[in-house]
């Protein structure tokens, strides 16, 4: 049985899986049906009505764990700007497939499925494959986190490949995320008598001014590149004619290995001084495998052969389901590698290059072959 990954990408795009609400089940069942016919054992794990995660397995031996390949079926909303193509028609032009989810990441899922189906007849008595196809990735890795919480459902994996968009460049991990809220307080008074109040917006603004350009790494060279900080939102005051007694803002910090959340909070506390108190709202560790890991090196070799492009090691700036899955599998080597274009993710008129999907399919097939020794 052979699956054309281009046709499959188009079929998957035609399922409207905009999250919210997601409605991933029909898309997951389409994938599950293909894998079942190819000999995989499949299980659906709905986290809500109409929102199934899919786990498919084949092969398995004592002594070496299977290779896990993972992708998500949900897509982000279309955005406010009008599209010049039909977002769910999966039209082809100029060597590209257009549509919401083409890049992020139905092209990647189709490449995983096509590679897995091609190898399926040869995987009995080998370490085998486990495919984890999640729902709800775009809103905080909801599906992957759900699977992690179901005892025994994920099973084991000796390596993890997440096919998020990287233009087929293998990335040995992704940045972590630390979300923090800053809050300044003041004393309210009538807007005509500012001398009777303490303006919380001024306090917050002074601190934010010091955050712009802050070097969190403090001159150190860290693995995985530089951490970043962004002030994502700011709210202050009640109305035009009062002195604001509260101002709050949100910080989105992207973390790299070697920098700890405790260190960042300590730096912020110093900058905030008496004016702003910082509290941690959420944290997810970076995912990182040493580039010298033999499996990581082998993936680079496979992809260089196929794409003709040799890349230095690097990690993705965005986070992925690996944030949940890598830890749950006991930190096996993890690669983020997929056919989509990272800069097209979540964009109007999203597309994926057909050539990239073909390369990814060939790459995933070779990576799985090497893992399974077939």
Distance of closest approach, residue 260 Cβ to Zn ion, in angstroms:
27
Q: Does 104 bind Zn ion (CB under 5 A)?
A: yes
Measured from the CB atom, the residue of 11 and 104 that comes closer to Zn ion is: 104
Q: Does 154 bind Zn ion (CB under 5 A)?
A: no
Distance of closest approach, residue 143 Cβ to Zn ion, in angstroms:
12
> What residues contact residue 336 under an 8 Å CB cut-off, 6+ apart?
162, 164, 166, 170, 171, 172, 173, 174, 315, 316, 320, 322
State the residue for tokens 């800069």: 343
Residue 5 in contact with residue 110, Cβ under 8 Å? yes
Q: Does 321 bind Zn ion (CB under 5 A)?
A: no
| Binds Zn ion (CB under 5 A): choice among 105, 120, 180, 259 | 105
Distance of closest approach, residue 101 Cβ to Zn ion, in angstroms:
9
Stretches 37-45, 161-169, 181-189, 330-338: which one binds Zn ion (CB under 5 A)?
161-169
**Catalytic center residues:** 74, 138
- How far is 366 from 348, CA to CA, in rounded Å? 33
Q: How many residues bind Zn ion (CB under 5 A)?
A: 3
Residue 259 in contact with residue 214, Cβ under 8 Å? no
Residue 337: phi, psi to the nearest 5? -160, 115
Residue 237 in contact with residue 249, Cβ under 8 Å? no
Measured from the CB atom, the residue of 119 and 345 that comes closer to Zn ion is: 345
Stretches 157-165, 201-209, 321-329, 364-372: which one binds Zn ion (CB under 5 A)?
157-165
Distance of closest approach, residue 374 Cβ to Zn ion, in angstroms:
29
Write b or e for each residue in 209-226: b if 16 or more Cβ atoms lie within 10 A of its Cβ, otherwise e: eebeeeebeeeeebbbee
The contact pattern for Zn ion, residues 49-88, with x = CB under 5 A and - = no contact, is ----------------------------------------
Q: Which residues bind Zn ion (CB under 5 A)?
A: 104-105, 164
């Amino acid at each position: 049985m052979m699956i054309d990954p281009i046709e499959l990408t188009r079929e998957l795009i035609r399922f409207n899986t905009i999250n919210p609400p997601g409605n991933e089940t029909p898309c997951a069942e389409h994938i599950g049906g293909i894998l079942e016919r190819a000999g995989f054992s499949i299980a659906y794990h709905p986290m809500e009505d109409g929102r199934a995660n899919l786990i498919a397995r084949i092969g398995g031996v004592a002594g070496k764990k299977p290779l896990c390949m993972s992708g998500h079926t949900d897509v982000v909303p279309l955005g406010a700007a009008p599209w010049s193509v039909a977002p769910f028609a999966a039209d082809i032009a100029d060597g590209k497939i257009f549509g919401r989810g083409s890049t992020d990441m139905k092209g990647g899922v189709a490449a995983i499925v096509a590679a897995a189906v091609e190898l399926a007849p040869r995987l009995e008595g080998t370490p085998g494959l486990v495919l984890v196809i999640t729902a709800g990735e775009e809103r905080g890795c909801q599906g992957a986190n759900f699977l992690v919480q179901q005892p025994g459902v994920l099973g084991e994996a000796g390596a993890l490949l997440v096919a998020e968009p990287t233009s087929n460049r293998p990335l040995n991990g992704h940045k972590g995320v630390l979300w923090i809220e800053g809050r300044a307080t003041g004393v309210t008074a009538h807007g005509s008598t500012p001398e009777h109040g303490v303006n919380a917006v001024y306090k917050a603004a002074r601190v934010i001014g010091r955050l712009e350009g802050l070097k969190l790494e403090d001159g150190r060279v860290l693995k995985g590149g530089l951490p970043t900080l962004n002030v994502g939102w700011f709210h202050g005051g009640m109305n035009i004619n009062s002195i604001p007694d509260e101002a709050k803002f949100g910080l989105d910090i992207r973390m790299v290995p070697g920098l700890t959340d405790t260190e960042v909070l300590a730096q912020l506390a110093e900058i905030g001084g008496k004016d702003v108190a910082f509290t941690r709202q959420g944290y997810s560790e970076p995912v990182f495998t040493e580039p010298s890991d033999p499996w990581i090196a082998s993936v680079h070799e496979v992809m260089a052969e196929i794409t003709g492009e040799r890349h230095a090691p690097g990690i993705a700036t965005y986070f992925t389901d690996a944030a949940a899955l890598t830890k749950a599998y006991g930190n096996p080597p993890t690669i983020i590698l997929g056919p989509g274009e990272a800069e097209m993710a979540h964009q109007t008129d999203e597309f994926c290059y057909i050539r990239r999907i073909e390369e990814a399919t060939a790459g995933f097939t070779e990576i799985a072959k090497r893992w399974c020794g077939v």
